[in-house]
Amino acid sequence: MPTVAAVLAMAAIPAATLVVQGADDFSGALIAAILLSGATAGYLVEDPAGDTLSPSPTSLARRRLLRLATIALGVTVTLLLVVVAATSQVPIGPLRLADRAAELLAVTGVAAGTAGLVQRSGGAAAAPTGAVAGPLSALLISSLAVRFHGLPAIASAANHDRWWIVALVGWTTAAWVSRDPYR
């Protein structure tokens, strides 16, 4: 999982830069950290020992849950560092952390679901595909929200609760493709 660690380190760079500059608006840095750290959920499907462990009694879903716990720990630590850095400069109110949680779960759900679908269909680059699909889908949905007002947009209060629907669809897909194919 060195790729996950590298992506999480990149996610903290915008906030670190703003702390050094003494900025007073961290909302963009927090959203960038959410998009980048959410992309790491695509690496749930990366299982170098998968061929060896597939006949074992440990199910694919259980192995993915263990990797999810590892990735979630890294994402949580990264985002906590970003929030602590932000709150050292500005009050926590303008960051709207509950809204950011919906965006994070939507990005991670789409990344994990897409990576799982690509791997299930026999694709070779499932993890990077999921890692790119998560943030790009959030950006695409946000850009389409300008034309189609029923869609949610990143950092916008209108229809923001619909990110939870995107998250539900993504994580449902991720759970569905985490079934063992031959059990």
Residue type, 51: D
The number of domains in the chain is 1
Domain for residue 93, yes or no? Answer: yes
Q: What is the CA radius of gyration of the chain?
A: 17
User: Does residue 91 surpass a pLDDT of 70?
Assistant: no
When pLDDT is cut at 50, 70 and 90, the band that residue 141 belongs to is very high
Domain for residue 48, yes or no? Answer: yes
CA distance 35 to 22: 23
Domain for residue 139, yes or no? Answer: yes
Domain for residue 165, yes or no? Answer: yes
Residues in contact with 179: Cβ distance below 8 Å, sequence separation at least 6, in sequence order: 60, 61
CA distance 40 to 155: 21
Model confidence over 20-68: pLDDT tens digits?
887 777 778 888 888 888 888 888 887 766 667 667 777 777 888 888 8
Mean pLDDT over the full length of the chain: 83
User: Does residue 144 surpass a pLDDT of 90?
Assistant: yes
Domain for residue 34, yes or no? Answer: yes
In this prediction, residue 5 carries a pLDDT of 82
CA distance 182 to 41: 24
Percent of the chain beyond pLDDT 90?
Answer: 19
In this prediction, residue 31 carries a pLDDT of 85
Alpha helices in the chain (DSSP H): 2-21, 27-38, 50-53, 60-87, 97-120, 126-144, 163-177
**16 three-state secondary structure:** helix
State the distance between the two ends of the chain, measured CA to CA, in whole angstroms: 27
Domain for residue 116, yes or no? Answer: yes
In this prediction, residue 95 carries a pLDDT of 62
In this prediction, residue 93 carries a pLDDT of 63
Model confidence over 8-28: pLDDT tens digits?
888 888 888 887 887 777 778
Domain for residue 28, yes or no? Answer: yes
Could you tell me the pTM of the whole model? 0.83
Percent of the chain beyond pLDDT 70?
Answer: 91
Domain range spanning residue 144? Answer: 2-177
Domain for residue 183, yes or no? Answer: no
